[in-house]
Amino acid sequence: MSVSPTTLIKAVKGTRDLLPPSTEVWNRVEQVARAIFRAYNYHEIRTPIFEETQLFSRGVGTETDIVTKEMYTFEDRDGSSLTLRPENTASVIRAYIEHRLDQRTGVQKLYYIGPMFRRERPQKGRYRQFFQIGAEAIGSDSPMIDAEVIELVVEILRGVGLSGFKLLINSVGDHNCRPQYVERLKAELADKAASMCSDCQRRAETNPLRVLDCKVEADQPIIDALPHITDFLCDDCRKHFDAVKQYLTDRGIEYEVRPRMVRGLDYYMRTTFEVVHGALGAQNSVLGGGRYDGLAESLGSKVHAPGIGFSIGEDRLVMSVEGDQTPAALDLFIAPLGDAALRHAAILARDFRRSGLSVELVEGKLKRAMEIANKLGARYTLIIGDNEIAAGRYALKNMSTGEQVELTHDEIAARLAPSK
Ligand SMILES: [Zn+2]
Ligand SMILES: [Zn+2]
């Protein structure tokens, strides 16, 4: 394809640039998340952006929308098939197995923050490169961990200032009891599928659980009338689910049980959960998570690695809390008058920046400089001319009160010191 060299190049469809001041909100959200992860003894893991394609087809499930329709898969130069990660749990478990993290002490609590890639239809709040904040607790099948992970998620949402969200939970059973439910679902769908959407018709045969994910309006009454998985749980799964609910109640965490919520990924078992938020309209899921006790084995591990995790859609979370964004304030604006003052001001600026202040230095006429200082919302301005340099005292102006005082370098540093 020939493209004119004068064609203006834009960001690829479905991707976007994150610009200031919005990035301030992104950073704040991530800082809150990191602090809460730390409080719960989680540590960061960074896995590659691309992996072997079969990691996701085996780990996420061949019949899921992600694998059948949405992956960015490409052939590498040596002919191997690679895929940009559409989610991160499979990668984290791969790393856990590959580096024998099971041999480390205790439950491995890992978190990640980074971009994922899915070729979805672009719409508000959905991007083909999107960001997730997620975590995995690997090495325990205790329902206490499920409750702690859910508590952690709720703390992050509260910490970033999200309110009015709703926690939905479910149990999707395990290898012991789910097959019976799937059989029952298949039987129920045998005569109903013909009147459903084409995806449901196919899934009714290949993976009936996925029918429950269908968003097609006309199919909803049929799906609502299907049997609930919670009525098919075996004793162990029932006990696990009851314990999770009890531990959430102990913590004062409100939830609703949603038996239809089986989540889009095949590796989930027992506990699944989701948080929805009103501000986001139809695309109202802020995060999803669940337990995946058999995932490691499905990736070829001989080590049993039961785990539970979640991923927050950071784009949507930021969109929900963006209302309270304030541009980061500039502490000090320096206006040097003349060449000697400019060189002197540059050293001062470096010193103040080293002490943790945000400083801007702009050459030019004083009037113009003060206009810029106002536009940048500077807390203070410092005007430097030859007299100030000679005296070692500078005119510091408080931009909100208009008060101006003559101070030494050290006195300015003390007055502007960032509050700890
Ligand atoms: Zn359908
Ligand atoms: Zn079971």
Q: How far is CA 263 from CA 59, 138, 170, 237, 412, in A?
A: 14, 19, 10, 17, 57
Question: Ligand 1 centre and the CA of 220: distance in Å?
Answer: 8
State the Cα–Cα distance between residues 66 and 329, nearest whole angstrom: 42
DSSP state of 64: S
Distance CA 308, CA 320 (A): 25
Please give the CATH architecture assigned to the domain spanning 330-416. Answer: 3-Layer(aba) Sandwich (3.40)
pTM: 0.88
DSSP-based three-state secondary structure for 50:
strand
3-state secondary structure labels for all residues of 247-261: HHHHCCCCCEECCCC
> Which ligand is nearest the CA of 221, by number?
1
Please report, in angstroms and rounded to a whole number, the separation of the first and last CA atoms in the chain: 57
**Count of beta carbons in the 10 Å neighbourhood of residue 226:** 17
Query: Chain-centre distance of CA 341, in angstroms?
Result: 46
- What spacing in Å lies between the alpha carbon of 34 and ligand 2's midpoint? 34
**How far does residue 279's CA lie from ligand 1's centre (Å)?**
26
- Helix 53-60 to helix 89-98 angle, to the nearest 10 degrees? 110
| 121 backbone dihedrals φ, ψ, rounded to 5° | -65, 125
**Å from CA of 86 to ligand 1 middle:** 23
3-state SS, residue 148: helix
CB 231 within 8 A of CB 252: no
Rounded Cα distance, 290 and 267, in Å:
9
Interval between CA 179 and ligand 1 midpoint (Å)? 21
335 C-alpha to ligand 2 centroid (Å): 70
| Residues ≥6 apart with Cβ < 8 Å to 301 | 93, 97
Q: How remote is the CA of residue 331 from the centroid of ligand 1, in Å?
A: 56
The pocket of ion ligand 2, defined by CB under 5 A, consists of: 173-174, 176-177, 234, 237
Beta carbons of 379 and 387 less than 8 angstroms apart:
no
Nearest ligand, CA of residue 199? 1
Q: What pLDDT score does 290 carry?
A: 95
DSSP-assigned letter for residue 232: S
Pick the CATH number of 22-177+233-323 from 3.50.50.60, 1.10.3210.10, 3.30.930.10, 3.30.1330.90: 3.30.930.10
How many whole angstroms from 290 Cα to the centroid of ligand 1? Answer: 23
Which ligand has the shortest distance to the CA of 217? 1
Neighbour count for residue 8 (Cβ, 10 Å): 5
Distance in angstroms (rounded) separating the CA atoms of residues 6 and 16: 22
* Ligand nearest to the Cα of 232, by number: 2
CB 277 within 8 A of CB 164: yes
* CA 210 / ligand 1 centre spacing (Å): 9
DSSP code string of 195-226: GS-HHHHHHHHH-GGGGGG---GGGHHHHHTS
- Report pLDDT for 282: 52
Q: Phi/psi at 222 (nearest 5 deg)?
A: -65, -45
Q: In which residue are the tokens 């508000």 written?
A: 124
Give the number of the ligand closest to the Cα of residue 219.
1
Q: How far is Cα 122 from Cα 127, in angstroms, rounded to an integer?
A: 6
Hey, what amino acid is at 182?
V
What's phi and psi for 397, nearest 5 deg? -110, 125
Residue 152 and residue 40: Cα distance in Å, rounded? Answer: 7
Ligand nearest to the CA of 229: 2
Domain ranges of the chain: 22-177+233-323, 330-416
The pLDDT assigned to 66 comes to 82
Q: How far is the C-alpha of 144 from the C-alpha of 146, rounded, in Å?
A: 5
Q: Token pair 């089986």 is at which residue? A: 262
Output the pLDDT for position 331: 94
pLDDT tens over the chain, length 420 residues:
566 778 899 999 999 999 988 999 999 999 999 999 999 999 999 999 999 999 998 888 776 778 888 999 999 999 999 999 999 999 999 999 999 999 999 999 999 999 999 998 877 778 999 999 999 999 999 999 999 999 999 999 999 999 889 999 999 999 899 899 999 999 999 989 899 999 899 889 888 888 988 889 999 999 999 999 999 999 999 999 999 999 999 999 999 999 988 865 667 889 999 999 886 555 588 999 999 988 898 888 898 899 999 999 999 999 888 775 566 789 999 999 999 999 999 999 999 999 999 999 999 898 999 999 999 999 999 999 999 999 999 999 999 999 999 999 999 989 888 764
Ligand 1 centroid – CA 10 distance (Å) = 36
Tell whether omega for the bond before 21 is within 30 degrees of 0, i.e. cis: yes
Starting at the edge strand found earlier in the chain, the sheet holding 269-277 runs: 43-44, 108-117, 129-138, 307-313, 285-291, 269-277, 165-171, 256-257
Q: Quick check: 137 and 109 in contact, CB under 8 A?
A: yes
Ligand whose nearest atom lies closest to the CA of 200: 1
Residue 264, helix vs strand vs coil? coil
